[in-house]
Amino acid sequence: MKTFEPTDNPLLIAGPCSAETEKQLLETAQALASIPDVKVFRAGVWKPRSRPNSFQGRGAEALPWLKMVQDNFNLPVAVEVAEPEHIEMLYKYGIKIVWFGARTVSNPFSVQKLADALKGSNFSVMVKNPVYPDIELWSGTVERLLDNQLEDIAAIHRGFFPFEKSELRNTPMWEIPIEFRRRFPEIPMICDPSHIAGNKKYISDIAQRAFDLNFAGLMVEVHISPKAALSDSRQQLSPAEFFALIGSLTARNVQSEDADFKNHLEDLREKIDVIDFQLLELLSHRMKYVDEIGEYKKKNNVAVLQLKRWGRILESRLEQSNKAGLSKEFIKQLLELIHKESIARQTEIMKRTNRQ
């Protein structure tokens, strides 16, 4: 059976950020093995760190400890790999689940080397999203694995490096994993709430959001003594905290077999479809006026961008959005997209007229 075979229950992957000592690993694994839904034990062995003096993992020294976890507790172990040599060492210890970290996925050369090293093997592979919100890098990693006959693959959403100050360590940007799932519907999407949160107080809300979006499971950092952890101590849960987290979450069904539910849902969706087509038609009409204004600006030698007008649009529409019960942030983003398209169309009109 594949590690990432779809099941009725969420797939739970748990374990410490880093393998630190034999005692730490065995005690953490023993606690997690008592939780039936935990199917994989995760631990970092080779840790890619920005600063050379940071804790970078125990390396090969930790592999015998992880083999003991597998043998003693019947918990398959997953380890992050960054070099083909890492895969060779894991194979010797019977470890057959690996993940590609965010930094590795950001480098296609590294990804290709790892994919080639795994070619045709029976390893299970998890692919974290890249550091920055580039879905092509994420998709490309999976495609390289598929090209090398890897069949048991899962994606891990761990959020993206924030460009602005945020209470979370990484920005979720849920629309990107949703688009990834549209491209690869057969590949399970697992959420890593620990790395999105950066602080354990936010983990529960993020994990529930993932279940609300029908993610296949969670990958959570759990340490027998989080305060003593050598890396990422603030985002790691104790086994007791992890057990409480799992008990507090509500997994969602993909579908409901209730006939009344299906009929009512279909009725509401049809209404949304009608409105969507009306929105598209209205946007088309709006862009026709945008084009007409562009022609008029060109004729009168007036610049495309009119900042005062744009400011008035934002102010008046955002005021109206509040009255309409719509999120100001949502309307602002929508208006900015429309404005961007309007600028692009009028700029093209200027170019086209110049060429004539």
Average pLDDT over residues 234-256: 93
Ramachandran bin of 120, using left for φ above 0, alpha for ψ from -120 to 50, beta for the remaining angles: left
Are residue 56 and residue 169 in the same domain, yes or no?
yes
Residue 77 CB-density burial (10 A; 0-12 exposed, 13-18 middle, 19+ buried): buried
pLDDT in tens, 2-47: 899 888 889 999 999 999 999 999 999 999 999 988 999 999 999 8
Are residue 223 and residue 277 in the same domain, yes or no?
no
- Which position has the token pair 């209470």? 167
Tally of residues, the chain: 356
State the residue range of the domain holding 197: 11-248
Are residue 328 and residue 270 in the same domain, yes or no?
yes
Beta strands of the chain (E only): which ranges?
Answer: 11-15, 38-42, 77-81, 97-100, 124-128, 153-157, 189-191, 217-221
Strand, coil or helix: what is 312? Answer: helix
pLDDT at residue 227 greater than cutoff 80: yes
Average pLDDT over residues 123-143: 97
pLDDT band at 48; cut points 50, 70, 90 = confident
Are residue 127 and residue 234 in the same domain, yes or no?
yes
Are residue 283 and residue 216 in the same domain, yes or no?
no
Are residue 140 and residue 278 in the same domain, yes or no?
no
Q: Tell which of 222, 248, 274 closes a domain.
A: 248
- Tell me, yes or no, whether 253 lies in a domain: no
At 186, which helix (H) or strand (E)?
none
Q: Provide the β-strand partners of residue 166.
A: none
Per-residue model confidence (pLDDT) at position 354: 55
Per-residue model confidence (pLDDT) at position 8: 83
Task: Read off the tokens for 198.
Answer: 């950066």
Q: Tell which of 198, 213, 248 closes a domain.
A: 248
Per-residue model confidence (pLDDT) at position 349: 94
- Tell me, yes or no, whether 5 lies in a domain: no
HSE of 346, CA atoms in CB hemisphere, 13 A: 24
Average pLDDT over residues 336-346: 96
pLDDT at residue 71 greater than cutoff 80: yes
Do 220 and 194 contact (CB within 8 A), yes or no?
Answer: yes
CATH of the domain at 303: 1.20.59.10
Average pLDDT over residues 135-144: 98
User: Domain total for the chain?
Assistant: 2
HSE of 288, CA atoms in CB hemisphere, 13 A: 6
- Tell me, yes or no, whether 2 lies in a domain: no
pLDDT in tens, 299-309: 999 999 999 99
What is the residue-wise DSSP string for 133-177?
S-HHHHHHHHHHHHHTT---EEEEE--B--SS--SSSSB--THHH
pLDDT band at 172; cut points 50, 70, 90 = very high
Comparing 145 with 50, the larger pLDDT belongs to 145
- Tell me, yes or no, whether 265 lies in a domain: yes
Do 169 and 235 contact (CB within 8 A), yes or no?
Answer: yes
pLDDT at residue 165 greater than cutoff 90: no
At 23, which helix (H) or strand (E)?
helix 22-33
CB atoms within 10 A of CB 102: 25
Strand, coil or helix: what is 215? Answer: coil
pLDDT at residue 355 greater than cutoff 70: no
pLDDT at residue 356 greater than cutoff 70: no
Do 124 and 97 contact (CB within 8 A), yes or no?
Answer: yes
Average pLDDT over residues 72-84: 97
CATH of the domain at 37: 3.20.20.70
Average pLDDT over residues 162-167: 86
Task: Read off the tokens for 117.
Answer: 């090293």
Average pLDDT over residues 175-204: 97
How many helices (DSSP H) and strands (DSSP E) are in the chain? 13, 8
Comparing 328 with 355, the larger pLDDT belongs to 328
User: Where is average pLDDT lowest: 48-52, 84-88, 182-186, 317-321?
Assistant: 48-52
Q: Tell which of 248, 268, 299 closes a domain.
A: 248
Instruction: Check residue 44 and report its DSSP letter.
Output: B
Instruction: Check residue 96 and report its DSSP letter.
Output: -
Are residue 243 and residue 309 in the same domain, yes or no?
no
pLDDT at residue 244 greater than cutoff 70: yes
Are residue 269 and residue 337 in the same domain, yes or no?
yes
Are residue 227 and residue 287 in the same domain, yes or no?
no
Are residue 72 and residue 147 in the same domain, yes or no?
yes
Q: What percent of the chain has pLDDT over 70?
A: 98
What is the pTM (predicted TM-score) of this model? 0.83
- Which position has the token pair 């760190």? 49
- Tell me, yes or no, whether 63 lies in a domain: yes
Strand, coil or helix: what is 81? Answer: strand
Are residue 205 and residue 278 in the same domain, yes or no?
no
Per-residue model confidence (pLDDT) at position 75: 96
Per-residue model confidence (pLDDT) at position 246: 95
pLDDT at residue 353 greater than cutoff 70: no
Are residue 157 and residue 109 in the same domain, yes or no?
yes
- Tell me, yes or no, whether 113 lies in a domain: yes
